[in-house]
Amino acid sequence: MTSPRDGTDNPIVSVRDVRRDYPVGAERVHALQGVSLDVARGDYVAIVGPSGCGKSTLLNLIGAIDQPTSGSVTIAGRHVESMTDREATQFRLLNIGFVFQRFYLLPILSAVENVALPMAEAKVPKDERVKRASELLEYVGLGARLRHRPSELSGGEQQRVAIARALANRPSLLLADEPTGELDARTGTEIIRLFQRLNEDGTTLVVVTHDEDLASAARHKIHMRDGRVVES
């Protein structure tokens, strides 16, 4: 369990005795078996463990894109398990940024349009969202690539666009699932530095990774095995 950095007793993420089962064929997989943890505001947490240990499942629950079979997940004071789909969607839009291993940029949109997409969904006026998207791309070092499409960008550049997109609506929590998984070592290092900078600038980060360098850059590590937290 990690400690709050801001001196308050209210962690931004609070997971209590969470279980998550799902069917695979005729069987039920127990992906999480009673996980509890807290993440403080401004913290930088890496969740590590072998494949299939439940890291991504836990991240999905913290990101309000899945609901626990039992237990409770509280993010910024809101209970994920009691949210309707509409509430969860709106919550994610305004409070959570996602970065995925495969970037998942829309190939038909330019870098600045990809970053502006969540802001358009949040009904930010067009001028304002283009300005902020451009600023975010400057922040991640892609000021000269605003109009480029994903196919015209390298893997590292695409991941930086995805990070800028995740920051679009000023989320209180940034979640990343294997963000360096598809990148070479040098590009991975750039992303690690970018995450550190984001955290220093006040962003709370939770990262699921196999990458030792990325995990080491985090303030706290949570080790998982067989659907349980074994060390934190």
Partner 1 sequence: MRGALAQASLIRHRARTGLAVLGVAIAAAMLLDMVMLATGMRESFRELLLSRGFQLRLAPKGTLPFDTDATIPGVSAIIATLRTNPAIGDISPVLGASIHVLRSGRDVSGSAIGINPVVQGDYELVSGRDLKNADDIVLNDFMWRQLGARFGDTVTVALGYDPQTRTYSGQRRLVLVGLVRFIYGANDQPGAAVRRETLESMGTAGASAGRVLRDRASLFMVRVRNGNDAEQVRNWIEARIPSVSAISIATAIAQVDERLSYFRQLALILGAVSLFVGFLLVTTLVTVSVNERAGEIAVMRAIGVSRSHVVQQIVIEGVAITLLGAVLGLGLGLVTARYLNTILSAFPGLPMAIDFFLFQPRAAWSALGLLVVSGIGAGIYPAWRAASLPIAESLRREAIA
**How buried is 209 (Cβ within 10 angstroms: 0-12 exposed, 13-18 middle, 19+ buried)?**
buried
Shortest distance in whole angstroms from residue 149 CB to partner 1: 10
What does the DSSP 8-state code read for residue 52?
A: T
Q: Interface residues for partner 1 in 13-42 (CB under 8 A)? A: 22
Q: Return the residue of 54, 118, 150, 227 that touches partner 1, per CB under 8 A.
A: 118
Strands 44-48 and 220-225: parallel
Q: Segment contacting partner 1 (CB under 8 A): 41-49, 117-125, 192-200, 220-228? A: 117-125
Q: Residue 192 has which token pair?
A: 């690690």
Residue 1 Cβ vs partner 1, minimum distance, rounded to whole Å: 24
Binding span for partner 1 by CB under 8 A among 33-41, 59-67, 185-193, 199-207: 59-67
Binding mask 168-187 for partner 1 (x = CB under 8 A): -x------------------
63 lines the binding site for partner 1 (CB under 8 A): yes
Q: Binding to partner 1 by residue 80, rule CB under 8 A?
A: no
Using rule CB under 8 A, residue 120 touches partner 1: yes
Structural contact between residues 81 and 68, judged by C-beta atoms closer than 8 angstroms: yes
- For partner 1, the closer CB: 38 or 177: 177
Beta strands 78-79; 70-75: pairing state: antiparallel
The stretch among 69-77, 94-102, 152-160, 222-230 that binds partner 1 (CB under 8 A) is 94-102
Q: What is the SS3 assignment for 80? A: helix
Q: Tell the residue number behind the tokens 């196919």, with chain if given.
A: 151
The residue (of 86 and 186) whose beta carbon lies closer to partner 1 is: 86
Q: Check the CA dihedral 77-98-216-42 and report its sign.
A: negative
Among 5, 16, 21, 122, binds partner 1 (CB under 8 A): 122
DSSP string computed for 134-161: HHHHHHTT-TT-TT--GGGS-HHHHHHH
Q: Are 14 and 35 in contact (CB under 8 A)?
A: no
Using rule CB under 8 A, residue 160 touches partner 1: no
Confirm if 45 and 8 have CB atoms less than 8 A apart.
no
3-class DSSP state of 178: coil
- Kindly tell me which of 1 and 120 has the beta carbon lying closer to partner 1: 120
Contacts with partner 1 by CB under 8 A lie at: 22, 56-57, 60, 63, 65-66, 85-86, 89-90, 92-94, 96-98, 100-102, 104, 106-109, 117-118, 120-122, 165-166, 169
